[in-house]
């Protein structure tokens, strides 16, 4: 296989090429303006920002909210003892703070950190509780309007 300065041929291990690889490949500069704009649009939509859903999907996030709903205010050490001793628990708590779901109060006199749900955090914790009740207590033959379906 010959090697050109501008192009390097690569052949798969089985020795055959797909038909699509034989088609001409275009550089970015050769692309029409609308294709370049579409590519740039796709790249700009890709961000490293984590969505709220991804943040809440982290381990123990909902558990901490429900725990705080039933044990408020709670010491940070209580959360570590009762929910998890996971090393990233402090990061999880700071994420909840950044989402506006909890507040941390540092008491200098007793060297303690109290965690309290905000009103928004209380609403979210109630919604999680409601989801748990639906999953755990409602039979499968109830439709979305609360009417029992005949099987």
Residue 48 vs residue 115, higher pLDDT: 115
**Residue 150 belongs to a domain:** no
> Starting at the edge strand that comes first in sequence, how are the strands of the sheet with 74-75 ordered?
74-75, 112-117, 102-107
Percent of the residues in the chain that have a pLDDT greater than 90, as a whole number: 33
Q: Confidence class of residue 127 from pLDDT cuts 50, 70 and 90?
A: very high
The number of folded domains in the chain is 1
**7: in domain:** no
Mean pLDDT on 74-99: 90
Query: Considering the domain boundaries, does residue 115 fall inside one?
Result: yes
If DSSP codes are grouped into helix, strand and coil, which group holds residue 74?
Answer: strand
Q: Domain range spanning residue 68?
A: 53-137
**Across residues 62-91, what is the average pLDDT?**
91
- Smallest CA-to-CA distance from 60 within 22, 33, 87 is with 87
CATH number of the domain bearing residue 82:
1.10.10.10
């Amino acid at each position: 296989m010959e090697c050109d300065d501008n192009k390097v041929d690569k052949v798969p291990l089985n020795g055959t090429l797909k038909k699509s690889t034989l088609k001409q490949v275009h550089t970015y500069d050769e692309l029409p303006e609308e294709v370049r704009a579409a590519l740039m649009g796709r790249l700009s939509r890709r961000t490293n920002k984590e969505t709220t859903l991804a943040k809440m999907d982290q381990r123990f996030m909902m558990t901490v909210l429900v725990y705080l709903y039933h044990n408020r205010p709670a010491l940070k050490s209580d959360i570590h003892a009762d929910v998890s001793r996971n090393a990233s628990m402090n990061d999880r708590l700071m994420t909840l703070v950044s989402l506006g779901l909890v507040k941390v109060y540092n008491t200098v006199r007793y060297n303690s950190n109290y965690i309290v749900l905000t009103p928004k955090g209380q609403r979210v914790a109630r919604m999680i509780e409601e989801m748990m009740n639906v999953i755990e207590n409602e039979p499968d033959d109830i439709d979305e309007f609360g009417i029992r379906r005949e099987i």
